[in-house]
């Protein structure tokens, strides 16, 4: 049974940094797209960043220049390094995966993804 388990969330002051991790042990596909989404209560889940199985990253406008998505295929673990955090970054952050490469799907559409983690809360004040 494959699971995605996020960690690394917390509370930080504006301008600070956090690094989120997603343990993707057991998720072994040759081609895939893994992403980070975030959601605040009462709003739709929104994409933050995605990474293709070939290592190509894609960022939402809100994340460009501040966030970096990466992965360690040996573990395997997905990361999201978040710098220059703003109060509007406050949300529950979710790790998700699709069994198909990013360029084949609508990368930032939540409905494309079938496997989700439980989320990790990020609060920026």
Coil, helix or strand at residue 87: helix
d(CA 73, CA 78): 8
pLDDT tens-digit series, residues 55-101: 999 999 999 999 999 999 888 999 999 999 999 999 999 999 999 99
d(CA 51, CA 120): 19
d(CA 91, CA 119): 10
pLDDT tens-digit series, residues 18-64: 999 999 987 778 889 999 999 999 999 999 999 999 999 999 999 99
Phi/psi region, residue 19 (left: phi>0; alpha: psi -120 to 50; beta: rest), is beta
pLDDT at 25: 85
Query: Cis peptide leading into 76, omega within 30 of 0?
Result: yes
d(CA 49, CA 119): 15
d(CA 49, CA 69): 6
| Residue 2 pLDDT greater than 90, yes or no | no
Q: Please, which residues bridge with residue 123 across strands? A: 11
């Amino acid at each position: 049974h494959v699971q995605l388990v996020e960690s690394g969330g917390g509370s930080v002051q504006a301008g600070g940094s956090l690094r989120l991790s997603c343990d993707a042990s057991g998720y072994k596909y040759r081609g895939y797209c893994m992403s980070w989404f975030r959601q605040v209560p009462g709003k739709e889940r929104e994409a933050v960043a995605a990474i293709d199985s070939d290592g190509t990253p894609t960022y939402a406008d809100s994340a460009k220049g501040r966030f970096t998505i990466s992965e360690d295929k040996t573990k395997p673990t997905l990361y999201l390094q978040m710098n220059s955090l703003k109060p509007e970054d406050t949300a529950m952050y979710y790790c998700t995966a699709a069994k198909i490469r990013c360029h084949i799907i609508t990368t930032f559409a939540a409905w494309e993804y079938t496997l989700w983690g439980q989320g990790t809360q990020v609060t920026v004040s």
